[in-house]
Chain A
């Protein structure tokens, strides 16, 4: 568990203050899956369209392995690079500003596109729910409303004080359990129809590879659970245990999601591009009003929670890049009253809105996945250089991930394979993203770099790297 016990270092008075936090439901929920869980409610189903039901299941577990490697590497980074910013800060120290600029850009686009997909789903879900009640309404206003409200909350910052009752928000995870129980898994043919609905791999093993693309969606954002503390390092095992606990929770949720959905809906429908909320549609197949309402609420809440986290994280990343002068310093401004990165928030909001209103969900998700995938691809390279420049024992590490370089190698292989998977279905989007990042990198290297304060890039109290 991430924060089972927190012991404060002695304050200036010399007194010891030990604070043992009592574990409550929020601590379980706060395993970090809060903003990631939306991937169970929507988006993963497009992998079924690529590789069939079993293809999606295989991709779920293979990508789970990818993210296990990400979690292990990211835990070492966050617990060692005391400067906040995760891979962004590490890239500054191990490779340089251009790498850090790209990592920052990867993260901003990952979260902004994820935000766009969340609010599109939220809006369309309201439309679907209204149609169930006999009202035909457009979804776009609700998408814009959700984005506007969340943007306002983030603009106002910590003092906006829209505290959400966590008994309600915890339902977003419990709804999956409710659905699982509702379909009576102990009585296989009572509700679930796996025998009738499951087929062999419709596109063979090439389809399985293609479905790796959307397997990412189950877990995208888990690296955001590594939140550093102010003191030099968190307690040794807290971060990796917290992250791995989140991974296990997501794996269980993904397995349940898959098991229930493919037992209630044919794979052709699940994988259909216009299928927005597979778990909710699975709930509708039960014809139980209670389960339908619960899943409606769960899907909506998980989407809203995820969108909120994305606005927060994307704006902080953009703000940090402004402060570092990787971007115009104008973005590094802080609101004088609310103490928020208001310019970054306002700049990214229209981008999310445009994508949410005009781009199909599968393509928005693909853009988000591609940016995240690029970040994961550079993680092995960064970790390799990190361990070479500062081997174990030369600097203090809060957590050393085991079996290096195996996780880095596995991560690289899986990332390359997943890029191929994206190419199979979304080659144009892949090329467009690559072109965008190349152009951005050229802009940074040949124009923006002159503004960067090079002396401020390296802030860690580490010895000179090996070989230098």
Chain B
């Protein structure tokens, strides 16, 4: 019969072992889920390279319809009193005319660390028919793309998951909400659980086509655009 103190130690060790097993099981499960992020949509790209990141979601770089593209998931847990979001940055690397940056950010909170908007010095008043929850920022109005060129694409912001549209000399990017943390888990333990952590082919295709269309609008000569 074990003495009382030995029994206490044994129980404590068993508890630690059980917790360790639980932890390792969950780590493996989470890593597997993250690595499968682009498993279903990778066939859209040729060639394609999925770059794993230790302790983070992988990044996909590849070629889609003749364009170099990059898909990068970003987890955002920094907004206060707001459920965390899993954003997908969809970037088409095709040069745009001009040397300035134009940024349309929806529902700005000031905590969007993945957005260049906080560092852009100029804020442009929103044109009348633009969504009122947006802010429009630029690095230099004289060298950035004309915001009016985005008018045919404003329907993109009808989707509340659309967060940002950025146009830089190096390319065009949208930021789209892939998922939002499950409320009960976050409320109890501030634990972030995303139910949907894979990019579906239809979604990827639609987002990429949208970004390509925006980029092509930037390249149309001014007279043709008008």
Return the contact of A229 from the options B27, B83, B135, B210 (Cβ within 8 A): B83
Closest Cβ of chain A to B18, distance in Å, is: 9
Among the 9-residue stretches B39-47, B143-151, B176-184, the one with 4 or more Cβ atoms under 8 Å from chain A is B176-184
Which of A1-55 touch B at CB < 8 Å?
2-3, 8-13, 15, 19, 21, 26-27, 29-32, 34-35
Per the bound structure, the CA–CA distance linking A34 and B123 in Å amounts to 42
> Is chain A's binding surface mostly helix, strand, loop or mixed?
loop
Q: Is the CB of A13 within 8 A of B202?
A: yes
What chain A residues lie within 8 Å of B107 (beta carbons)?
Answer: 82-83, 230, 232, 459
A200 within 8 A of B: no
Q: Which residue of B lies closest to A165 (CB)?
A: B22
Pair B81/A85 contact, Cβ less than 8 Å: yes
CB contact between B177 and one of A227, A230, A317 (< 8 Å): that residue: A230
A151 within 8 A of B: no
| B75–A312 touching, CB < 8 Å | no
Give the number of residue pairs across the A-B interface with Cβ within 8 Å.
185
* Complex Cα–Cα for A32 and B207 (A): 35
B188–A305 touching, CB < 8 Å? yes
**In the bound complex, how far is the Cα of B110 from the Cα of A320, in angstroms?**
7
A285 to B192, CA, bound (A): 39
Known pairs A133-B5, A163-B26; A317 contacts B189 (CB<8 A): no
Q: Which residue of A lies closest to B112 (CB)?
A: A323
Task: Name the residue on A nearest B134 (C-beta).
Answer: A461
**23 residue pairs A–B, Cβ–Cβ below 8 Å:** A2-B183, A8-B161, A9-B160, A12-B156, A13-B202, A15-B202, A30-B185, A35-B188, A85-B82, A86-B80, A86-B81, A135-B5, A157-B77, A163-B30, A228-B82, A230-B107, A230-B163, A232-B107, A305-B188, A308-B190, A339-B77, A341-B78, A455-B123
Query: Chain B residues in contact with chain A, CB under 8 A?
Result: 4-5, 8, 22-23, 26-27, 30, 55-56, 74-85, 107-111, 113, 118, 123, 131-133, 135, 156, 159-163, 176-177, 180, 182-192, 195, 202-203, 206-207, 210
List of 8 A-B pairs having minimum Cβ-Cβ separation, nearest first: A30-B184, A461-B132, A84-B82, A34-B188, A316-B80, A312-B190, A231-B160, A86-B81
> B-contacting residues of A (Cβ < 8 Å)?
2-3, 8-13, 15, 19, 21, 26-27, 29-32, 34-35, 78, 82-86, 88, 133-135, 156-159, 161-166, 169, 224-232, 242, 305, 308-309, 312-313, 316-317, 319-320, 323-324, 334, 337-341, 455-456, 459, 461
